[in-house]
Amino acid sequence: MATFYDFELEPKVIRAITEMGFEEATPIQSQAIPHALQGRDLIGQAQTGTGKTAAFGIPLINKISPQEEDIVSLILAPTRELAIQVSEEISKLARFKRLRPLPIYGGQDIGRQIRALKKHPQIIIGTPGRLLDHIQRKTIRLDKVQTVILDEADEMLDMGFMDDIQSILKLVPEERQTMLFSATMPPNIKRLAEQFLNDPVHVSVIPKQVSAPSIAQFYIELHERQKFDTLCRLLDRESPDLAIVFGRTKRRVDELAEALQKRGYSADGLHGDLSQNQRDTVMRRFRDGSIDVLVATDVAARGLDISGVTHVFNFDLPQDPESYVHRVGRTGRAGKEGQAWTFVAHREIDHLHLIEKVTRHRITKKPIPSIAEAIEGKQKVTAEKVLEILQKEQYAEYKALAIQLLEQYDSVQLLAAAMKLLTGDNNDTEIVLTPEEPLRSKKRRDDRNSNRRYGSSKPGQRRSSSSYGGNRGGGSGHKSGGSYSRDRRDRRSSGTSTYRKTEA
Ligand SMILES: Nc1ncnc2c1ncn2[C@@H]1O[C@H](COP(=O)(O)OP(=O)(O)OP(=O)(O)O)[C@@H](O)[C@H]1O
Ligand SMILES: [Mg+2]
């Protein structure tokens, strides 16, 4: 396993990496950084949570001079939250070089962005729409750009950003370095690559399974009307540190977040119809732990790196296998463990099997947790809280009362009563959610030989293989076809190697 001293990096960059607590390079970093430093175009694919951001961020920071006054690099990301996050990681890497990265995304005051642009940032991290806006206003010029990175490249295609990306890249000099990154590379990404990349190196660190091995994956087969109580029981039994619950539509997310609040969970929703202010607030509160359940549409499926997310719940089955991979990839990051639970209506079982086939990962069937299990889980949390106070000896002012009560009552009964009070009564406020239709799977002609469905299908077939299910909520209706290529023989396995991050 490579350390960062193995690459020819400036001492200031190495120092920043060390301060971030990175000891060893992850597999995608060891393989991509040398090519990127040589200026090669690159297509990088590696599992979720394995450090793709630094894989392009490190070589990028290394080559930019702090004296530079122009925008020399451009990073495109599909969502605002991701643009903000990538910009933060780039800032950390650029700390000692004192470079000026700037996130540019929709929903933020454009006047403020224009003022920030006057301070000569060298790196712009943006979403395509707002970037085009600035280009039209001539507040951003791209004619000095030397490096372009498309993070979550396949998602940007899927969201129908192809035209925008084309318009943006037309303004960037042809003599440049371009890199694409994602955990999933459906075959139609080739179109993008052929058009925008020049003799790219393919770096693929996808071992046998597409999703990270550190994620335990389960599913529960149930009726739509059982979903909510099942979610509550799972939350009680599992007591996640932080959890993300994915719903299919914006309405679903709103209803679910409100319902969870009614039942006493500290939850809030995130989707594209909220104001940017609301989106920022929800993300900040989730990151700092003031809410512990984030309910979201697929807007939160890609790239978001929030430490402490131990559980992902697919309240509704995702539209396609790529979305599944990215959603569950919000947990089990940077070598940590995580769990993903997927709710499947009886009629959706075929979809689930398709996901298993494409991701080459068995998803284990589990029963609906019982009420008793849920209560037991809640009691365990209460006991842990009590023991924590005990260990930290934070009870001095209650000691006299305890002695007094113990003189009069039985200790077991007394403690049980206190635990009951702390755990709270079972809150079974009646909840009614607007039902969502189960995903319908269209019979495909190539269903007989489903092994061939992904990857090796001809362009004509791909359309049909992508049509299992309706449109993604609010999307343009354009769907990508297919998924992971199955016949990639040059996949180098990352094996069982792990990498650690020391607490910096
Ligand atoms: N070499 C390293 N050692 C330890 N931790 C690392 C290393 N490189 C990156 N990380 C950390 O791992 C986490 C995941 O990284 P990152 O968000 O770049 O993953 P990703 O591959 O882009 O995932 P996704 O496909 O979900 O976007 C981050 O918290 C990052 O700081
Ligand atoms: Mg990423």
> What is d(CA 475, CA 464) in angstroms, rounded to the nearest whole number?
18
Domain-located, residue 183: yes
Mutate to test the pocket of ligand 1, among 7, 50, 185, 326 (most ligand atoms within 8 A of CB): 50
Mean pLDDT of 145-150: 98
Instruction: Tell me the CA end-to-end span of the chain in Å, nearest whole number.
Output: 21
Least confident of 196-210, 219-233, 377-391: 196-210
Q: Which ligand is nearest to the CA of 26?
A: 1
**Same-domain check for residues 395 and 254:** no
pLDDT at 424 over 90: no
Judge if the beta carbon of residue 473 lies within 6 A of ligand 1: no
CATH number at residue 47: 3.40.50.300
**Same domain membership, residue 395 and residue 366:** no
Tell me the CA–centroid distance for residue 151 and ligand 2, in Å.
7
Residue 426 CA to ligand 2 centre (angstroms): 39
For residue 369, the 8-state DSSP code is: P
Q: Ligand 2: distance of its center to the CA of 351 in Å?
A: 26
Q: Does 376 lie in the same domain as 340?
A: no
Residues 395, 462, single domain; the answer is no
Q: Is residue 19 part of a domain?
A: yes
Query: How many beta carbons lie within 10 A of that of residue 221, not counting itself?
Result: 17
Q: What is the pLDDT of residue 188?
A: 82
Of residues 307, 408, 270, the one with CA closest to residue 89? 307
How many domains are contained in the chain? 3
Same domain, 302 and 336: yes
Q: Are residues 132 and 158 in the same domain?
A: yes
pLDDT on residue 210: 64
Pair of tokens at residue 212: 């990270």
The pLDDT of residue 226 is above 70: yes
CA distance 247 to 57: 32
CA distance to 58, 233, 332, 500, per residue, from 497 (Å): 21, 35, 15, 10
- 417 and 321 inside one domain: no
Q: Give me ligand 1 centre to Cα 52, in Å.
A: 6
Query: Amino acid letter at 455?
Result: G
pLDDT averaged over every residue in the chain? 86
Is the Cβ atom of 86 under 6 angstroms away from ligand 1?
no
Question: Residue 326 CA: which ligand is closest?
Answer: 1
User: Once rounded to an integer, what is the mean pLDDT over residues 294-300?
Assistant: 97
pLDDT in tens, 240-270: 999 999 999 999 999 999 999 999 999 999 9
For residues 123 and 92, is the Cβ–Cβ distance under 8 A?
A: no
| Residue 37 within any structural domain of the chain | yes
**Residue 51: CB within 6 Å of ligand 1?**
yes
Q: Are residues 315 and 378 both part of a single domain?
A: no
53-85 tens-digit pLDDT: 999 999 999 999 999 999 999 999 999 999 999
Does the beta carbon of 154 lie inside 6 Å of ligand 1?
no
Instruction: Show the domain range for 93.
Output: 4-204
The pLDDT of 152-180, averaged and rounded, is: 93
Helix (H, G, I), strand (E, B) or coil at 210: coil
Same domain for 305 and 243: yes
Q: What pLDDT, on the 0 to 100 scale, is given for residue 482? A: 30
Q: Which residues contact 77 (CB under 8 A, 6 or more apart)?
A: 83, 86, 125, 126, 127, 151, 152, 303
Report the atom number in ligand 1 closest to the C-alpha of 26: 1
Query: Atom 12 (ligand 1): residue with closest C-alpha?
Result: 334
Residue 137 has pLDDT above 50, yes or no: yes
pLDDT at 150 over 50: yes
Angstrom distance (rounded) from CA 326 to CA 75: 20
> Residue 282: phi, psi to the nearest 5?
-60, -45
Shortest-distance atom of ligand 1 to CA 152? 27
- The minimum-distance atom of ligand 1 relative to the CA of 4 is 1
Residue 504 falls within a domain, yes or no? no
Domain boundary among 145, 170, 204: 204
Q: At what angle are helices 227-238 and 371-391 packed, to 10 degrees?
A: 30
Q: Which ligand is nearest to the CA of 75?
A: 2
Between the alpha carbon of residue 472 and those of residues 185, 303, 475, 477, 478, the distances in Å are 19, 18, 5, 7, 9
Please give the pLDDT value at position 209.
Answer: 65
| Residue 213 predicted with pLDDT over 80 | no
Please report the pLDDT score of residue 496 as a whole number. 32
256 within a domain of the structure (yes/no): yes
What per-residue confidence (pLDDT) applies to 492? 28
Q: Are residues 362 and 243 in the same domain?
A: yes
CB atoms within 10 A of CB 223: 12
Q: Using the 3D structure, point to which of 391, 423, 455 is the last residue of a domain.
A: 423
In a domain, 329, yes or no: yes
**pLDDT at residue 299 is higher than 60:** yes
Q: What pLDDT does 71 receive?
A: 98
| Gap between the Cα atoms of 174 and 285, Å rounded | 42
Point out the domain boundary residue: 204, 239, 256: 204
pTM for the structure as a whole: 0.85
Strand positions, DSSP E, 147-236: 147-151, 177-182, 201-205, 215-221
335 occurs within a structural domain: yes
Same domain, 118 and 227: no
Backbone angles phi, psi at 115, to 5 degrees: -60, -40
Ligand at shortest distance from the CA of 287: 1
- What is the predicted pLDDT for the residue at 317? 97
Residues 193 and 243 in one domain: no
pLDDT given for residue 212 in this prediction: 66
* Cα separation, 178 vs 134, whole angstroms: 21
Q: Mean per-residue pLDDT for 344-370?
A: 95
**Overall average pLDDT of the 465-484 stretch:** 29
Q: Which two tokens stand for residue 429?
A: 């406020």
